[in-house]
Amino acid sequence: MAVIAGDFRNGVTFEMDGAVMQVIEFQHVKPGKGAAFVRTKLRNVITGAVVEKTFNPSDKYPPAYVERKDMQYLYSDGELYYFMDMETYDQLPLNGEVLSDAFKFVKENDIVKVASYKGNVFSVEAPMFVELAVTETEPGFKGDTATGASKPATLETGAEIKVPLFVEIGDVLKIDTRTGEYLERV
């Protein structure tokens, strides 16, 4: 069954020119004169590159089935990162190149989403929110309550973020891995 450009929706994946593309934005345009068209923003799921492209609504493409699997992050030996399939208990060693920027917030034993196409892993997605302990930060001062003031803090994974002045070493924080922002103390 083909993917038809006139039926594009956000998240749809298809093969185009040997690459796997995912629709991240689309707009059906019906100008007063001339034929209708579909304006899109596409992400190459393997390279992460984003392109804008216009399609005829009747264009057809083969669907691409991207597999997303929950796996447990076990450990890293410097060059390789090891993940375990929760169903088969198979271990999967992966290169650091496929890890997202948000991976700096993942600690051992966390569950992540491993995305692959035809058996080739192209990304490891961190959970949207994680809870991590603060291992290093400057002490806050009494009476220092300037609105919105922040200080750097190092988390147990080694990642550095900005936190409010009242946060102390040992506090467990909820972090949004997409933005790297502190959300709240847990």
Question: Domains of the chain by range and CATH?
Answer: 3-61 (2.30.30.30), 66-125 (2.40.50.140), 129-185 (2.40.50.140)
Whole-number average pLDDT of the chain: 90
Quickly state the pLDDT bin for 114 (edges 50, 70, 90).
very high
CA distances from 181 to 38, 86, 149, 171 (A): 35, 29, 14, 15
CA distance 29 to 113: 35
Q: Are 37 and 6 in contact (CB under 8 A)?
A: no
Of 67-81, 97-111, 132-146, the poorest mean pLDDT is in 132-146
CA distance 58 to 7: 9
Give the pLDDT score at 141. 64
Q: Are 45 and 20 in contact (CB under 8 A)?
A: yes
Measured at the alpha carbon of residue 88, what is the angle toward residues 85 and 94, in degrees to the nearest 5?
35
CA distances from 75 to 93, 97, 131 (A): 10, 16, 18
Task: Output the pTM of the full model.
Answer: 0.73
Query: What does the pLDDT average to over 39-61?
Result: 91
